[in-house]
Chains A and B, each alone.
Chain A
Amino acid sequence: MTHTTVAPDDKRDVRRANKVAASDRSKAENRLGMRLVAPAIFLMLLVTAFPMLRALYLSVFNYSLTAPDDREFVGLSNYWTALTDSLFWETTLNTVFIMVVTVAVELVIGFAFAMVMHRVIFARGIIRTSILIPYGIITVVSGFAWQFAFSNNNGFVNEWLPFVEDGFNWFGQYGSAMAAIMVSEIWKTTPFMSLLLLAGLAQVSEDMLEAAKVDGATWWQRLWKVILPNMRSAIMVAVLFRALDAYRIFDNIYVMTAGAQGTESISFLTYRQVIEQFQLGIGSALSVLLFLSVLLIAFLIVKIFRVDLAAARQEG
């Protein structure tokens, strides 16, 4: 009798003890985890969140570093000034234009590169090493390389392109200057795109491709029905990263045209307001607008690809 009554108690105690120990352990684990990530969180907040909040604060002042004592609260008028200024919309449009064209071109070329790299059996190391070179090179240096390449007195572009007259000044007008900027951007970042797409390609099952082939699907059908749908997440990541990166475009423009011929980007406008003209109030308002538009773009891209994903599921 005693034996049977005591034993469950014992068991319960053991269980309780285990439970206490487990929750102690998980508490300790929780504490350790938080302690280990604390420096990272602290630093990330310090270098981005804090300055961003400060920008938010400064953006409601009329504040110029050339006359710091005249700082004056002006509410949302800096935003109003920016949003009603044609320059703001011109630079935003430029930036969107650059983003859309470069990402679209890079997606096509990057995918072609990824297909080649996926199938290539010889010289893999050489190709992979070379493709990292544009990725690793300083953007400013690639800007210079292309600026000199398009230059009308020492470049090779005019000489090599049969349909361009010698002495044509690429940086003399809007259209061709933008084209030159986009070429340098595309050259530098296509490798990154193609490496991400290559990783996506590796996840497409060979069996499925083989099955489609046996069923008589043409190369084109296999591409659209098997390869691309299976790479959707890799494509989304690549497009998202590149689009946001392209929207911040600054280095190339600074080096190649310095904003001449109306080639300024929104980052460039912000930089000029703050660093060259010391207009911290309006510059901060531009910073906030720039940040908001990046969030909007990220949201839109995620949204667009999700819609696609749902549609694909319904099809299947």
Chain B
Amino acid sequence: MSTKNKIGIVIGAALILVWCLLPVAWIISLSFKSQEAITNGSPGFFPSEGGGAGWQNYRDVLADDQFLRSILNSIGISLIATFLSVVIATLAAYAIARLEFTGKKLVLTLALVIAMFPVVSLVGPLFDMWRTLGIYDTWPGLIIPYMSFTLPLAIWTLSAFFREIPWEMEQAAQVDGATSWQAFRKVIVPLAAPGVFTAAILTFFFAWNDFVFGISLTSTEQARPIPAALSFFVGSDPFNRPASLLAAGAVVSTIPIIVIVLLFQRKIVAGLTSGAVKG
């Protein structure tokens, strides 16, 4: 590689880092500014002299019951939706990768069509149905609709993973004297576990990110997840929001995502691309 190319790549890599991290750095910086400094109009990236608020915004946000409640809702709802999706998708993906049966294509096609579904078009009927059934503004009232985007994603990611598992190893183990349950548990489960885990992470991202269902199918803090809660943090005037508090709330709600990304970067990349490209 020529020196010119090398320099180009270094610059390119630096640009990627700036692109990805600049808005994050900006919102962190904003979260340490005082509201007075912001409303008086002190543009600029870093908190100005005397305009810093220290940890005060974070203390305020974490003292807010509604905010804490919505974080709890988000964690609970996303985890349950992820768990259910991944369990059901694992069964389906195992069948798709391993067995011959009628309707195999149908499942994958159905999942693909649903993955393209405009979520908003489900909101009307669900709003109406959930009110009749009495699960409007409850955890199940969000967990069930979340399946509409988490299941297809999990099925595609998992079936791409499972297709790569050498299933003959299971038979080999059986020939060596293992029972089929032992063969499955000792050979297949360890091979499948990373794929299942990856699918779970991606599914969790999707659920954590949901906004449309979050604002449409909740009316109180009882079930409102964090993205919806952030958007309701102040009244309806979108031009006068308490920027510094919101920024602190945004940072807090992003921490789980950052932690997951830092820990499982490799797996997430593999999962994203295997589901989409190899699928």
A-to-B contact residues, CB < 8 Å = 26, 29-34, 36-37, 39-41, 43-48, 51-52, 54-55, 58, 65, 112-113, 115-117, 119-120, 122-123, 125-142, 144-149, 151, 153-156, 158-159, 166, 171, 187, 190-192, 195-196, 198-200, 203, 233-234, 237-238, 241, 244, 247-248, 250-251, 254-258, 260, 267, 270-271, 273-275, 280, 283-284, 286-288, 290-291, 294-295, 298
Question: Would you list which residues of chain B between 132 and 165 have a CB under 8 Å from chain A?
Answer: 144-145, 147-148, 151-152, 155
**Chain A residues in 8 Å Cβ range of B102:** 30, 34
Number of A-B contacts (CB under 8 A): 312
A interface secondary structure, majority: helix
Q: For the complex, what is the distance from the CA of A126 to the CA of B266, rounded to whole Å?
A: 11
Q: How far is the CA of A151 from the CA of B43 in the complex (A)?
A: 9
Is there contact, CB below 8 Å, between B120 and A290?
yes
Q: Do A234 and B277 have beta carbons less than 8 Å apart?
A: yes
Tell me which of B41, B91, B152 contacts A36 (CB under 8 A): B91
Interface string of B1-16 (1 = CB under 8 A from A): 1000100010011011
Q: Which 3 A-B pairs have the closest CB atoms?
A: A33-B101, A287-B121, A116-B12
Given contacts A48-B114, A241-B276, whether A136 and B92 have CB atoms under 8 Å apart is: no
Bound together, the chains give a CA A33 to CA B121 distance in angstroms of: 31
Query: In the complex, given contacts A34-B103, A128-B265, what are 7 additional A-B residue pairs having Cβ atoms less than 8 angstroms apart?
Result: A36-B99, A136-B257, A144-B230, A187-B19, A250-B212, A275-B127, A290-B118
The interface residues of chain B lying within 8 Å CB-to-CB of A196 are 272-273, 276-277
With most chain A CB atoms within 10 A of its CB, the pick from B20, B127, B231 is: B20
Contacts of A166 in B (CB 8 A): 43
Residue of A nearest to B208 (CB): A138
A145 to B26, CA, bound (A): 7
Segment at the interface with A among B175-183, B184-192, B238-246? B238-246
Q: Does B260 contact A (CB under 8 A)?
A: yes
A51 touches B257 (CB 8 A): no
In chain A, what residue has the closest Cβ to B89?
A40
15 A-B contacts (beta carbon < 8 Å): A29-B99, A44-B151, A47-B151, A126-B17, A128-B265, A130-B16, A130-B21, A133-B24, A141-B250, A144-B27, A153-B38, A159-B43, A251-B227, A271-B123, A287-B121
* Closest beta carbon of chain B to A310's beta carbon, Å: 22
Given the known A-B contacts A41-B107, A280-B124, are A33 and B99 also in contact in the complex, defined by CB atoms under 8 Å?
A: yes
> Are A47 and B13 closer than 8 Å at their CB atoms?
no
Q: Cβ of B13 and Cβ of A139 under 8 Å apart? A: no
Interface string of B205-231 (1 = CB under 8 A from A): 100110110011000000000111011
**Bound CA–CA A31/B101 (angstroms):** 7
Known A-B contacts A32-B101, A47-B147, A52-B125; A129 and B261 likewise in contact (beta carbons under 8 Å) = yes
What is the distance, in angstroms, from B168's C-beta to the closest C-beta of chain A?
16
A54-B125, A141-B27 in contact; A41/B120 too (CB < 8 A)? Answer: no
